[in-house]
């Protein structure tokens, strides 16, 4: 029956009218804390309350949460840990009690027929020095029937054995979660810094890398900066009918500099490549912040940046599983001079991101005086985190570009940059517009991961309309290490963080692309790829890829290719 009484009392409290208030401090209800808090000077709207075994100072009782949030900054100036929570109005209605002497216990009588021993609700049983303290007591009269409405006459309610203020506990838990989310970025930085410090014990070059960046704000504008590079060297062997050859060279030599101001709200980046056809990579200026009315965040970027169209295409080449992207990357646009807006919102353990982009020719295309071909793209992603290293991410994207009647070309090099021949390729003349769609999915379960995308393109040409598509599905397993990572804020593949022993990953990929439609019979190709990746540390990674490629119906080659290639990647 005691347990039943506790439940009924808890229900009665929950049914009371509540309001929003600002909680300044919370302490254990000891005699020392009671004396200390009672001597503090607070606003006239503030009350010192004793709730269960907790002493708390709360200010104001507001009907709407926005009213409480408006006065919150005023209190946070002196109490940085202040936050908005809910409480019962009756706690502010009752008068404050002067604690000059011990207060006699109040006996709460139960009906005789219930055979329940009297419950003692004690406001205080110790001698207390003179202080102004708000005490809360609930009386239950014997003429009330157990199981019907039990009306609290003043407030609170306590049985020393088992009555707990459930609602207050939930509010405190939610406030702690909110505080953890706000400090998420700082925790990541601390974790990364801690990891780098561990590495410094083994790898001496980290001493020099640390000099290339400043994570602490400098000066009035809180300036932070970083210099970095991506260097990768490849070896490849290609075996096909009547022809076999080897190749080796630098795949990427890139250097970048980026910085930020005002707690990383205003940021910029400049990246230049000494290899490949396109020299200018990320050249951008951006700003990011929070949206109070949506309870989310936003990011604005302008410059030579990637078009938000696919998971693997939008992710950095340093973080993808294989040495080269899958076959359907032939439909990607890489970087363009763009204006991009990202809107994001967190929902408990999930996040939704929307990317919107308007773009024209890239810097390199402008240098070559290419015909201007404007377009726009939109990408929506949803990611749900079940727990650490267990997540599901889904997304879809659409892009449309005005091709100005120019010719459109697509080709693939069998997922190797060192293939001399491109056996599957398409060229459509006099194209007015191009429309592309993409669907993406990523599932990570501890050391396992499964990733796939489907892309299609529709060309509106003078002669006819054409549709091409492509798909890939890949999986991986980490023999060493914690598994693949996903960046929730950017909807990209994250950087692998190996342990002190490193990380070792096995991977498999199936990909297919089709350039056949109507009178355009340009062939199709299927690739089977196998990968072994060794992450020595945070900066050094070794690739070993074996690919079996089968191009068909192209009129040039109808057989099987084998490609073995390896890479040493150093990126910081």
**What is the CATH classification number for the domain harbouring 236?**
2.40.160.10
pLDDT, residue 35, reads: 84
Strands 132-133 and 97-98: antiparallel
Domain for residue 216, yes or no?
no
- Same-domain status, 161 and 188: no
How many Cβ atoms from other residues are within 10 Å of residue 281's Cβ? 25
Tell me which range, 67-76, 190-199, 517-526, 561-570, is most confidently predicted by mean pLDDT.
561-570
Of 548, 546, 545, 542, which is closest to residue 561 (Cα–Cα)?
548
- pTM exceeding the 0.85 threshold for the entire prediction: no
Quickly state the pLDDT bin for 504 (edges 50, 70, 90): very high
Domain for residue 212, yes or no?
no
The pair phi, psi for residue 515, each rounded to 5°, is -110, 25
- Same-domain status, 143 and 190: no
Extended beta strands in 280-361, E state? 280-291, 296-306, 335-347, 350-360
What's the DSSP call for residue 365? H
- Same-domain status, 195 and 149: no
Give the mean model confidence (pLDDT) for residues 322-334: 93
Q: Is the dihedral of CA 545, 551, 554, 556 positive or negative?
A: positive
Domain for residue 214, yes or no?
no
Distance CA 309, CA 336 (A): 12
Point out the least confidently predicted range of 188-202, 370-384, 444-458: 188-202
- Are 480 and 504 in contact, with CB atoms under 8 Å apart? yes
Domain for residue 148, yes or no?
yes
What CA dihedral angle connects 76, 79, 83 and 84, to 10 degrees? -80
What CA dihedral angle connects 195, 198, 202 and 203, to 10 degrees? 40
| Angle between helical axes of 2-14 and 166-182 (0-180°, round to 10) | 60
Distance CA 462, CA 138 (A): 83
- Same-domain status, 337 and 373: yes
Distance of CA 105 to the CA centre of its chain: 52
Distance CA 265, CA 103 (A): 55
Q: Is the pLDDT of residue 20 over 50?
A: yes
- Same-domain status, 544 and 458: yes
pLDDT, residue 53, reads: 78
Of 329, 294, 364, which is closest to residue 436 (Cα–Cα)?
329
Quickly state the pLDDT bin for 79 (edges 50, 70, 90): confident
pLDDT, residue 189, reads: 61
Q: How far is CA 319 from CA 312, 341, 482, 571, in A?
A: 9, 23, 15, 10
Quickly state the pLDDT bin for 197 (edges 50, 70, 90): very low
Domain for residue 219, yes or no?
no
- Same-domain status, 168 and 304: no
User: Into how many domains does the chain fold?
Assistant: 2
- Same-domain status, 102 and 200: no
- Are 58 and 24 in contact, with CB atoms under 8 Å apart? yes
Domain for residue 368, yes or no?
yes
Quickly state the pLDDT bin for 331 (edges 50, 70, 90): very high
pLDDT, residue 29, reads: 83
Q: Is the pLDDT of residue 159 over 70?
A: no
Domain for residue 425, yes or no?
yes
Domain for residue 443, yes or no?
yes
What residues contact residue 354 under an 8 Å CB cut-off, 6+ apart? Answer: 342, 343, 344, 378, 379, 380
Q: Is the pLDDT of residue 476 over 70?
A: yes
pLDDT, residue 500, reads: 85
Q: Is the pLDDT of residue 357 over 80?
A: yes
Q: Is the pLDDT of residue 99 over 50?
A: no
pLDDT, residue 190, reads: 62
- Same-domain status, 350 and 477: yes
- Are 378 and 357 in contact, with CB atoms under 8 Å apart? yes
- Same-domain status, 124 and 192: no
Q: Measured over all CA atoms, what is the biggest interatomic distance in the chain, rounded to whole angstroms?
A: 103
Of 108, 102, 117, 132, which is closest to residue 38 (Cα–Cα)?
132
- Same-domain status, 91 and 193: no
- Same-domain status, 129 and 193: no
pLDDT, residue 150, reads: 33
| Number of DSSP helices (H) and strands (E) in the chain, helices first | 9, 27
Range of the domain at 354: 184-206+231-571
Q: Is the dihedral of CA 7, 13, 14, 20 positive or negative?
A: negative
Distance CA 96, CA 86 (A): 20
Tokens 């879809």 belong to 396
pLDDT one-digit tens code per residue, 169-193: 667 777 777 777 767 766 666 655 5
- Same-domain status, 235 and 138: no
pLDDT one-digit tens code per residue, 235-247: 999 998 778 999 9
pLDDT one-digit tens code per residue, 367-376: 999 999 999 9
Burial grade of 55 (CB within 10 A; 0-12, 13-18, 19 or more): buried
Computed over every residue of the chain, the mean pLDDT equals 83
First-to-last CA distance in the chain? 66
């Amino acid at each position: 029956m005691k347990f039943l009484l506790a439940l009924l009392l808890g229900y009665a409290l929950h049914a009371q009218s509540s309001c929003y208030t600002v909680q300044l401090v919370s302490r254990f209800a000891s005699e020392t804390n009671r004396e200390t808090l009672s001597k503090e000077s607070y606003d006239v709207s503030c009350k010192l309350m004793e709730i269960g075994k907790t002493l708390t100072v709360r200010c104001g009782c507001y009907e709407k949460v926005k009213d409480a949030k408006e006065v919150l900054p005023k209190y946070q100036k002196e109490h940085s840990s202040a936050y908005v929570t809910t409480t019962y109005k009756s706690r502010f209605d009752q008068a404050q009690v002067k604690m000059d002497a011990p207060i006699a216990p109040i006996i709460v009588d139960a009906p005789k027929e219930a055979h329940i021993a009297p419950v003692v609700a004690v406001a205080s049983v110790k001698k207390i020095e003179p202080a102004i303290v708000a005490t809360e007591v609930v009386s239950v009269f014997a003429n009330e029937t157990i199981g019907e409405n039990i009306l609290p006459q003043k407030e609170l309610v306590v049985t020393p054995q088992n009555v707990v203020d459930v609602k207050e506990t939930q509010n405190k838990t939610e406030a702690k979660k909110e505080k953890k989310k706000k400090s998420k970025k700082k925790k990541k930085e601390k974790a990364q810094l801690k990891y780098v410090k561990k590495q410094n014990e083994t790898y001496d070059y980290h001493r020099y890398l640390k000099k290339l960046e400043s994570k602490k704000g400098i000066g009035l504008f809180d300036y932070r900066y970083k210099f970095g590079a991506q260097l990768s060297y490849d070896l490849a062997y290609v075996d096909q009918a009547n022809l076999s050859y080897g190749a080796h060279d630098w795949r990427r030599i890139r250097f970048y500099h980026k910085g930020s101001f005002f707690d990383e709200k205003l940021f910029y980046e400049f990246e230049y490549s000494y290899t490949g056809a396109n020299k200018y990579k990320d050249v951008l200026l951006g700003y990011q912040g929070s949206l109070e009315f949506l309870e989310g965040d936003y990011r604005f970027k302008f410059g030579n940046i990637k078009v938000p169209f696919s998971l693997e295409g939008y992710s950095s080449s340093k973080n993808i599983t294989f040495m080269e992207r899958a076959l359907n990357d032939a439909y990607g646009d890489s970087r363009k001079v763009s204006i991009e807006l990202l809107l994001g919102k967190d929902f408990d353990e999930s996040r939704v991101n929307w990317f919107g982009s308007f773009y024209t020719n890239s810097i390199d295309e402008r240098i070559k005086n290419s015909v201007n071909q404007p377009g726009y793209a939109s990408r929506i992603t949803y990611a749900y985190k079940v727990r650490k290293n267990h997540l599901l991410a889904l997304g879809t994207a659409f892009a449309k570009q005005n091709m100005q009647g120019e010719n459109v070309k697509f080709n693939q090099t069998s997922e190797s940059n060192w293939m001399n021949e491109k056996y599957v390729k398409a060229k459509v003349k006099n194209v007015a517009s191009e429309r592309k769609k993409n669907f993406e999915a990523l599932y990570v379960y501890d050391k396992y991961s499964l990733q796939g995308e489907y892309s299609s393109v529709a060309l509106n040409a003078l002669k006819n309309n054409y549709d091409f598509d492509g798909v890939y599905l890949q999986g991986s397993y980490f023999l060493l290490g914690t598994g693949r990572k996903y960046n929730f804020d950017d909807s990209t593949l994250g950087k692998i963080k190996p342990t002190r022993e490193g990380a070792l990953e096995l991977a498999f990929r199936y990909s297919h692309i089709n350039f056949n439609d109507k009178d355009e019979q340009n062939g199709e190709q299927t690739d089977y790829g196998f990968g072994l990746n060794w992450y020595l540390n945070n900066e050094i990674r070794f690739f070993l890829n074996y690919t079996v490629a089968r191009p068909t119906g192209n009129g040039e080659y109808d057989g099987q290719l084998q490609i073995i290639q390896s890479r040493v990647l150093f990126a910081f």
